[in-house]
């Protein structure tokens, strides 16, 4: 079994010092930690999750490191509490299956709203349930459905990226204004 490793997945997107990055569904913070390293002290990282305990732990860890991380607890079915065009790079990893299927298009629309023109989104999620190792089959965010949703919201999408045997991944880029 091979898994989509955050360090490997981030090779597919541009991350420069000083960028503003968001980790939607930050969870334990594997992507957040790497984003903090890459954007440096001049950059900003926003870690968002629906679970307060995940965000609290991330905040304390970032504070101990002196990193500039803004943590937000928010359900992704609601409008995102962020200003328009403020994020250069977003990561949505192992999160889409947790968004109500009827609200996924709204969520992608909100990600597009907060993303700067030409900003990128790294999308990584479960490709199947794999005998309950992943999410329940009814909650899966199928790769072709997600590509369709991102494209319907004005994004261009890359080909599928290698993401291990249990995940799929692609990069969506917001159109210029």
Q: Whole-model pTM?
A: 0.94
11 lies in some domain: no
Domain containing 117: what range? 17-174
| Number of domains comprising the chain | 1
Look at residue 1 in the predicted model and tell me its pLDDT: 42
- Residue 102: inside a domain: yes
Is residue 12 in some structural domain? no
In the chain, the percentage of residues whose pLDDT exceeds 90 is 69
Interval 138-159 mean pLDDT = 95
Mean pLDDT of the chain: 91
Confidence of residue 169 (pLDDT cuts 50, 70, 90): very high
The radius of gyration computed from the CA coordinates of the chain, to the nearest angstrom, equals 15
- On whether residue 110 sits in a domain, the answer given is yes
Q: Flag whether 60 is in a domain.
A: yes
Mean pLDDT over 116-135 rounds to 88
Whether 121 shows a pLDDT value over 50: the answer reads: yes
Q: What residue spans of the chain are helical by DSSP H? A: 6-9, 30-39, 52-65, 104-114, 143-152
Each residue's pLDDT tens digit, 72-94:
999 998 999 999 999 999 999 99
pLDDT of residue 3: 62
pLDDT at site 2: 59
In this prediction, residues 14-29 reach a mean pLDDT of 95
pLDDT for the residue numbered 21? 97
Look up residue 84 and give its two tokens: 């328009």
Q: How far apart are CA 116 and CA 131, in angstroms?
A: 39
Q: Let me know: does 156 contact 147? Beta carbons within 8 Å.
A: no
Domain CATH code at residue 168: 3.40.50.150
Confidence of residue 130 (pLDDT cuts 50, 70, 90): confident
Q: How far apart are CA 17 and CA 45, in angstroms?
A: 11
Position 121 in a domain: yes
Name every residue whose Cβ is closer than 8 Å to that of residue 64 and which is 6 or more positions away in sequence: none
| pLDDT > 50? residue 137 | yes
Residue 7 lies inside a defined structural domain of this protein = no
For residue 46, give the H/E element and its range. strand 44-49
């Amino acid at each position: 079994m091979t898994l989509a490793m955050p360090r490997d997945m981030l090779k597919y997107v541009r991350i420069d010092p000083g960028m503003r990055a968001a980790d939607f569904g930050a969870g334990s913070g594997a992507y957040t930690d790497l984003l903090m390293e890459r954007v440096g002290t001049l950059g900003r990282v926003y870690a968002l999750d629906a679970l307060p305990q995940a965000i609290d732990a991330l905040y304390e860890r970032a504070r101990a490191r002196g990193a500039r991380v803004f943590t937000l607890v928010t359900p992704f079915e609601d409008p995102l509490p962020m200003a328009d065009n403020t994020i250069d790079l977003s990561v949505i990893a192992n999160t889409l299956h947790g968004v109500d299927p009827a609200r996924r298009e709204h969520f992608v629309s909100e990600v597009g709203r907060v993303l700067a023109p030409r900003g990128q989104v790294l999308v990584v999620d479960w490709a199947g349930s794999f005998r309950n190792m992943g999410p329940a089959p009814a909650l899966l965010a199928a790769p072709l459905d997600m590509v369709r949703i991102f494209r319907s919201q004005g994004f261009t999408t890359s080909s599928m990226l290698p993401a291990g045997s249990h995940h799929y991944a692609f990069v969506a880029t917001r159109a210029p204004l």
